[in-house]
Chain A
Amino acid sequence: ISNNIIRQVTDVLTGDNHALVGTATERQFISFINKYGKEYSTREEYMHRLGIFAKNMMRAAEHQALDPTAVHGVTQFSDLSEEEFEARFLGVQGGKSGTLLGGGGEAPVLDVKD
Chain B
Amino acid sequence: LPESFDWREKGAVTPVKMQGSCGSCWAFSTTGSIEGANFIATGKLINLSEQQLVDCDHTCDATDKRACNDGCSGGLMTNAYEYLIKAGGIQEEEAYPYTGKPGECKFSPEKIAVRVTNFTNIPGDEQQIAARLVHHGPLAVGLNAVFMQTYIGGVSCPLICGKKFLNHGVLLVGYGAKGFSILRLGNRPYWIIKNSWGEKWGEDGYYRLCRGHNMCGMSSMVSAVMTKTS
Contact = CB atoms under 8 A, between A and B. Distances in A.
A100 B223 CA distance: 10
Interface of A: prevailing SS: loop
B49 interface: no
Given A89-B25, A93-B69, A94-B76, 16 more contacts: A63-B151, A66-B147, A68-B183, A69-B156, A71-B152, A72-B151, A88-B21, A90-B23, A90-B74, A91-B24, A92-B221, A93-B68, A99-B124, A102-B82, A104-B81, A110-B128
Interface of B: 1, 19, 21-26, 61-64, 66-70, 72-76, 78-79, 81-82, 118-124, 127-128, 130-132, 135, 142, 144-145, 147, 149-160, 164-169, 179-184, 188, 197-198, 200-201, 208, 210, 220-221, 223-224
Interface stretch (A2-10, A20-28, A73-81): A73-81
Contacts of B122: 106-107
Contacts of B21: 88-89
Given A91-B72, A92-B169, A100 B63 contact: yes
Given A87-B23, A106-B120, A92 B158 contact: no
Nearest to A113: B127
A82 interface: yes
A97 B221 CA distance: 11
Contact of B149 (A85, A106, A112): A85
Interface residues of A, number: 46
Contact of A67 (B121, B158, B188): B158
A91 B220 CA distance: 16
A91 B23 contact: yes
B116 to A, nearest CB: 11
Contact of A94 (B67, B147, B197, B201): B67
A88 B76 contact: no
Contacts of A70: 147, 151-158, 208
Count chain B CB atoms within 10 A of each CB in A36, A59, A104 and give the residue with the most. Answer: A104
B194 to A, nearest CB: 15
B153 A71 contact: yes
A57 to B, nearest CB: 9
A90 B149 CA distance: 10
A100 B66 CA distance: 12
